[in-house]
Amino acid sequence: MNVVLQCRNIYKSYGKNVILNNFNYEFENTGLYVLYGESGSGKTTLLNIITGNTDYIGQISMYDKTFKNSVSTNDTKKYIAYITQNNYFVNYLTIYENLELCLYDKSDKNKIDECLEFFNLLSKKESFPDELSGGEQERISIIRALLQKKKILILDEPTSSLDKDNRKVIINILRRLKKDILIICATHDLGLLEIADKKIDFTNLMIDYKLHSNKYAPVCSYKTEDKKDSLFPYMLKKFIYKKREKKSTIFLTIIFIITILVINMCFDYETKVEDSLLNIHKINFVNYYCYSNDDYCESIIKKFNGVYNLYLYSQNVPDDIYIDINENYNTLGFNLTAKTLPYDSDLFPNNESYLEYGSYYEDTNDIIIGYDLAIKLSEKKNIPIKQLIDQEYEIIMPDKKEKFNIKGILKKMDNNDMYFSSLVGNEVNDLEFLNDKYLEKYKFDGIPGTFQNTMGKVAMRAYFDNIKDLKKFYNKYKEYQIGNEIEVDNFVYNFIEFKWFMKAMQYYLYPIIIVSFIISIMFYFETENIKNKYCKHILAIYNYYGYSWSNIIINNIFVSIIYVTCVYLISFILSLFLSPFLNWILVLLKVTNFTLFLPDYKTSLLLLILLIFLSILFSTINSLLLVKRGTLESIKEGDDFL
């Protein structure tokens, strides 16, 4: 006789209700032991005591382990397969994958098909657990125990919810298995009583079953080791399970998107100005200062695939004229403020849309004038504004008095047009606009005394066909360094009022960012909390399948990191698509002329790192609490939650 399980002086009560009183019994290594009796007589209580789900007074010995007052589930799960009325599986894995996890040796995979065929379930191997009937789930649970090489099979009412045919199948299976393993079964089924090797009547159970030995030690020993192979591929499958819970993930994605968009609103204003001018307002030029000769600067522009170099007249007025402007302006008498426009109309796209009357340049001596100046001239000449077109207009230039032909009159301009403001600046309605082909003669030494800025630098404008080439040139020279022959005029200097607007907006939005961070973290915490209530059920099943808690915890941490990273990256990618759309809407509605949403990669990365840290923290804490609670108890709680 080989005794593998021994109960000695087991006492259990709930309040004043005594369920077991001085219960003693020995179970051998094979055979079917049937516990029968009225409901509430203690059958299920004894099963829960043996499996470690209920404490007691007394002693239980199982193989080479002895337990007093409480059985360790971490030990018993190595020996016992406990099949309750609620069968438990990893629901996002197929039947085959669930059984595959139970194998100690993955080279024995052919045994899965053999068992499934033996139990007439081979056609169900690719089904999910919830697609099986109760009887089929019961059979799969038994197969699982066999593949795990469990030597004790404990069943609680295995046939209570089955139809007649499935009941017969289970009875026949147990009849075959009892020759090889120990089966302890609580039931009311007379069919199971008929095939039982030993029967324990729990009706008015107040007697002592005599022990075969006075020594408190089973004679058999049996050990199993935790599985070492990784759970990672199996855990990842929950993300593709068609019946997985999706609402929390969707809400979390939305929260992340909103947070990222708020972060993007507080990004560096200088980069936003640059992005706005280049990508929204399609600026195709950049102003710069040349400290060398004309040929050298021309060669640098060509190196960056620039298509044209233009001399800026009013920006090259010598500094000493401005110093004594009140005294010398009338003395000198020549025009200092004329703006430069390109003679080539291709360099000024949609130029006709800026004209109220007339057309663009056709000759070097053509001139375009601002709307306010045109009104003054029309009043002076006492003619309608429109009739100023092709009228003669005289300007005193630095070298001579020049006669021009009024070719066009601009519309009343405001600062909302970023392209035109970048081209000629603000407050231009009473100015003259000369073309560069005429003004080119003033470049460098065209005028006695050198008509250029102090220190010999000349203000120029470079045009590009390709925004990428423009950006390369701009980024190369926008931060002036000693020794450079070129200094690019920073776009932002021309929009100083936008700088203060953005800085003020940042002060208001930074608190919103902090609030958004907090909301995101709180919502993520709540999502993790809900997920872990479900997840603990699955993790406990993995432990029941024979995997160590350390293996489960490590893989669960990695899966949690992947989950939060994927959700966050999806949110970030969606925000990348949303940002230009929102910018376009805001510009279209004239809420702003500038880009407000631009990716802030550093802050977004910081949030992701924070979420990953919290993911590791949450997963570790919840896993450790799960270990403390115990495998079968966690499975039971998971069943109740589900």
Which pair of structure tokens corresponds to residue 373? Answer: 């100046």
Going by the DSSP 8-state scheme, the letter that residue 210 receives in this structure is P
pLDDT at 359: 94
C-alpha count within 13 angstroms, C-beta hemisphere, residue 616: 6
| 236 lies in some domain | no
What are the structure tokens assigned to 361, written together?
């340049």
Same domain, 424 and 292: yes
Question: What is the rounded CA–CA span in Å between residue 474 and residue 305?
Answer: 12
| Same domain, yes or no: 442 and 508 | no
Say if residues 499 and 340 touch (Cβ distance below 8 Å).
no
* Together in a domain, 81 and 215: yes
What pLDDT is recorded for position 172? Answer: 87
Per residue in 143-184, pLDDT tens?
A: 888 888 888 899 888 887 778 888 888 888 888 888 888 999
DSSP 91: T
Residue 488 lies in a domain: no
Give the pTM: 0.71
Q: Are residues 253 and 394 in the same domain?
A: no
Distance (Å, whole) CA 386 – CA 135: 95
Residues 555, 454 share a domain: no
- Closest C-alpha among 580, 600, 578 to residue 271: 600
The per-residue pLDDT for 357 is 94
Would the pLDDT of 329 be above 50?
A: no
Q: Which whole number is the average pLDDT over 290-299?
A: 79
Asked whether residue 82 falls in the same domain as residue 155, the answer is yes
Last residue in a domain, options 412, 444, 464: 464
From 461, 443, 459, select the one nearest 451 (Cα to Cα).
443
The pLDDT of residue 135 is above 70: yes
Q: How far is CA 452 from the centre of its chain?
A: 55
Who's near 249: CB < 8 A, 6+ residues apart? 527, 567
Measure Cα distances from 223 to 79, 108, 149, 587 in Å: 8, 19, 10, 72
Residue 387 pLDDT greater than 50, yes or no: yes
CATH number assigned to the domain comprising residue 88: 3.40.50.300
Three-state secondary-structure class, residue 243: coil
Query: Does residue 470 belong to any structural domain of this protein?
Result: no
The β-bridge partners of 487 are 289
Do residues 181 and 48 both lie within one domain? Answer: yes
Q: Which of 412, 441, 464 is the last residue of a domain?
A: 464
Which token pair is 321? 């004229």
pLDDT (tens digit per residue) in 334-367: 778 889 999 999 999 889 999 999 999 999 999 9
Asked, for residue 471, whether it belongs to a domain, the answer is: no
Same domain, 126 and 41: yes
Q: Is residue 472 in a domain?
A: no
143 and 208, same domain (yes or no): yes
Asked if the model's pLDDT at residue 129 lies above 80, the reply is yes
Instruction: Give the integer Cα–Cα distance in Å for 624 and 259.
Output: 31
Helix axes 134-147, 95-102, angle to 10 degrees: 30
- The string of pLDDT tens digits covering residues 580-631 is 899 888 888 877 777 888 888 888 898 899 889 988 888 888 888 777 776 6
Mean pLDDT of 37-45: 83
Contact 158, 170 (CB under 8 A): yes
- Using the 3D structure, point to which of 156, 190, 225 is the last residue of a domain: 225
Residue 389 located in a structural domain: yes
pLDDT given for residue 251 in this prediction = 81
- 418 shares its domain with 509: no
- Are residues 74 and 161 located together in one domain of the fold? yes
Task: For residue 639, give the H/E element and its range.
Answer: helix 631-641
Question: Which 3-state string (H, E, C) describes 480-535?
Answer: CCCCCCEEECCHHHHHHHHHHHHHHHHHHHHHHHHHHHHHHHHHHHHHHHHHHHHH
* Residues 189 and 61 placed together within one structural domain of the fold: yes
How many structural domains does the chain have?
3
234 part of a folded domain = no
**Structural domain boundaries enclosing 636:** 247-269+499-641
Digit-coded pLDDT (tens) for 42-88 = 888 899 888 888 889 999 988 888 899 888 877 777 788 888 777 78
Residue from 501, 511, 472 nearest 596 by CA:
501
In a domain, 359, yes or no: yes
Whole-Å CA distances, 561 to 182, 539, 556, 564 = 42, 16, 9, 5
